[in-house]
Amino acid sequence: MSDLQKRFQDIIAPVIEFDYPVEIIDGKGSWVTGADGRQYLDFTCGIATSNMGHRPDAVVAAAQNQLNRLWHAGGSYLYDSIVDAAEKIVDVAPDGIEKVLFMNSGAEAVEASVKLARKVSGRQGIITFRGGFHGRTMGSVTYTTSRAKYRQGYHPLLPSTFVTPFPHPYGWGMTQEDANAYALRELEFKFKFEVTPGEIAAFLLEPMQGEGGYYPASSEFIHALRAIADEHGILLIADEVQSGFGRTGDWFTSQVYDVRPDILVMGKAIANGLPLSAVGASAELFDKWPVGSHGTTFGGNPVSCAACAANVDALRDFVPGVNRLSGYAFSRWAEIKEQRHTIGDVRGLGLMIGIELVKEGNEPDTEAFAAIGRHALDAGMFILNCGPDGNVIRFIPPLNVSQDDLDRGIDILADAIEAYEG
Ligand SMILES: Cc1ncc(COP(=O)(O)O)c(C=O)c1O
């Protein structure tokens, strides 16, 4: 154990899990450098956050410039970077997103979106979708059902929250069409047996489920939800904390599906790693939220907002290229899948690709990820998993990854899977 590991263990609350006990001292682009001087290919992207890789020049310059001028305002007075960031976001966000509220973390933005929905609709019920991850605070963990362990020991959670299935075609052994039909039928039953639609303020869902196993909603399912929401005056909250800012092939997955969210929740890649999150909605909706009924000390921090504005501009050069890289990565993974029985499914959108590792009978193979993660580390690469069984590789390179590094990452993982199969 290194000296830092020992100090870490002695002083940091062990509830926080770190995936790799490796000391990193520097990061640039798709690469980070260890304290021992070793270079590692970083395909964790800080959990789908550094979409522009580590320390992109323009974002660093904007943050440094702001740091030298004003770094905190606490909602006491105006400053330019918060307006700059909001304007940039609205420019790339789905149609109908006209104003922005800045918060600090994804969980906090999720909670703000639910408070907004409840306050303006006068309704209390929230419908969430099984497998969704929306954060760890008491409110957001109520909506999180990607793994039971995230909720274990924290009950009672918030009342008037109803959980309904999200289509998981591979997990259920169904076609996408059948999975959509099943999920929609269950929603119909929810309204018939448990709660009337008129009591529901919002549907809260990830258009592309992240922690739950990298399942895209499918156009058919999300458009069906939009229609049901319109029929009953329910607001559609799209939690795009993980799937936003170019990750899935357009600025937001809602645009990939050409569906209009009433409320858009953003975080993670919004400022490429500086702490910031946001809620977007129409002016009409936000203007119904009484002044002072929500607030924050750190939300919309000047430095994070300056980084956000520069980050959106920097991403403009790369978002249009995501689908080409995605097509290439999917075709390579399809070839590898042909040769490796451990790969049960390859799915996703853009550069948010899940590779599901299975045993015989398509049973989740949790061990496989552990072995592949170790192999990748030995080969100089960091990678994350997801899914309730931890058996889905998250393939999330930075969006500005070079072709060579993309191939290198795929090669390392393909070798690791081959080695696991023996
Ligand atoms: C879709 C989604 N929503 C919300 C969150 C919570 O974000 P944070 O960890 O910043 O609170 C996450 C984090 O992984 C997420 O993926």
Q: In this structure, are 214 and 251 located in the same domain? A: yes
- Token pair in block for residue 282: 């129409």
Residue nearest to atom 3 of ligand 1 (CA): 134
- The answer to whether 178 and 170 are in contact (CB under 8 A) is no
pTM: 0.98
If one counts every other C-beta atom within 10 angstroms of the C-beta of residue 193, the result is: 7
Number of domains in the chain: 2
Q: Is the CB of 107 under 6 A from ligand 1?
A: yes
Residues 29-40: what's their mean pLDDT? 97
CA 420, CA 422: separation in Å to the nearest integer?
5
Provide the Cα torsion 216, 212, 54, 107; round to 10°.
110
The 3-state DSSP class for residue 42 equals strand
Whether residues 245 and 335 share a domain: the answer is no
Pocket lining: 133 vs ligand 1, CB cutoff 6 Å: yes
Q: Whose CA is nearest to atom 8 of ligand 1?
A: 106
- Please answer whether residues 405 and 41 qualify as being in contact, where contact means their C-beta atoms are separated by less than 8 angstroms: yes
Looking at the structure, tell me whether residues 303 and 347 fall in a common domain. no
Distance 132 CA to ligand 1 centre (A): 10
- Distance from the CA of 108 to the center of ligand 1, in angstroms? 9
Asked whether residue 290 carries a pLDDT value surpassing 90, the answer given is yes
Taking the centre of ligand 1 as the mean of its atom positions, its distance from the CA of residue 242, in whole angstroms, is 7
In tens, the pLDDT along 107-118 reads 999 999 999 999
Between the CA of 193 and the centroid of ligand 1 the distance, in Å, is 31
**Whole-number pLDDT of residue 348:** 98
Q: Give me ligand 1 centre to Cα 216, in Å.
A: 16
The three-state secondary structure class of 382 is strand
For ligand 1, the distance from its centroid to the CA atom of residue 70, given in whole angstroms, is: 28
Domain span including residue 243: 57-315
Same domain, 31 and 159: no
Phi-psi sector, 263: left (phi>0), alpha (psi -120 to 50), beta: beta
Are 89 and 42 contained in the same domain?
A: no
Closest atom of ligand 1 to 136 CA is 11
- Integer Cα distance of 307 and 189 in angstroms: 45
Question: Is the CB of residue 146 below 6 angstroms from any atom belonging to ligand 1?
Answer: no
242 CB within 6 A, ligand 1: yes
Q: What is the pLDDT of residue 417?
A: 98
Residue 365: give its domain's CATH number: 3.90.1150.10
CB atoms within 10 A of CB 4: 12
Q: Give yes or no for residue 1 having a pLDDT over 90.
A: no
The pLDDT > 70 percentage for the chain reads 100
Cβ of 333 below 6 Å from ligand 1 = no
Average pLDDT over residues 254-272: 98
Residue at which a domain ends, from 289, 315, 341? 315
The answer to whether residues 308 and 387 belong to one domain is: no
Task: Assess whether pLDDT exceeds 90 at residue 17.
Answer: no
Residue in the structure block whose two tokens are 């580390």: 377
Contact 378, 419 (CB under 8 A): no
Distance CA 177, CA 16 (A): 39
CA 340 – ligand 1 centroid, Å: 32
Q: Which of 295, 315, 335 is the last residue of a domain?
A: 315
Q: Sorting pLDDT into bands at 50, 70 and 90, what band is 211? A: very high
> Cβ(139) to ligand 1 under 6 A?
no
Q: What sections of 68-147 are H helices per DSSP?
A: 80-92, 106-121, 138-143
Give the residue from 315, 332, 352 where a domain finishes.
315
Are 45 and 121 members of one domain?
no
Q: How many CB atoms lie within 10 A of CB 340?
A: 17
d(CA 350, CA 325): 8
- 134 C-alpha vs ligand 1 centroid, how far in Å? 5
CATH code: domain of residue 148: 3.40.640.10
What whole-number percentage of the chain has pLDDT above 90? 98
Residue 345 and residue 274 share a domain: no
369-377 average pLDDT score: 97
Q: Is the CB of 135 under 6 A from ligand 1?
A: yes
pLDDT tens-digit series, residues 306-351: 999 999 999 999 999 999 999 999 999 999 999 999 999 999 999 9
Query: From ligand 1's centre to the CA of 110, what distance in Å?
Result: 8
**Chain mean position to CA 410:** 21
Which residues lie closer than 8 Å to 156 by C-beta, 6 or more apart?
A: none
Nearest in space to 84 (alpha carbons), one of 256, 276, 282, 285: 276
**Can you tell me the mean pLDDT for 135-163?**
98
Q: Do residues 35 and 79 both lie within one domain?
A: no
Please spell the DSSP secondary structure of 217-273, one letter per residue. --HHHHHHHHHHHHHHT-EEEEE-TTTTTTTTSSSSHHHHTT---SEEEE-GGGGBT
Structure tokens at 5: 């590991």
Check if 104 has its Cβ closer than 6 Å to any atom of ligand 1. no
Instruction: Answer whether residue 40 shows pLDDT above 90.
Output: yes
- pLDDT value for 18: 84
Closest ligand 1 atom to 110 CA: 4
Q: What is the mean pLDDT of residues 169-192?
A: 98
User: Which amino acid, one-letter code, is at 293?
Assistant: S
The reported pLDDT for the residue numbered 19 is: 87
Mean pLDDT, rounded, of the chain = 97
Could you read off the pLDDT of 61-85 as tens digits, one per residue? 999 999 999 999 998 999 999 999 9
Question: Same domain, yes or no, for 235 and 117?
Answer: yes
H helix runs in 277-402, sequence order = 283-287, 302-315, 322-339, 366-378
Nearest to 109 by CA among 145, 139, 88: 139
Q: Is the CB of 212 inside a 6 Å radius of any atom of ligand 1?
A: no
Assess whether 268 and 413 both reside in one domain. Answer: no
**Are 182 and 201 contained in the same domain?**
yes
Pick from 133, 145, 248, 270 the residue to mutate for probing ligand 1's pocket: most ligand atoms within 8 Å of its CB.
Answer: 133
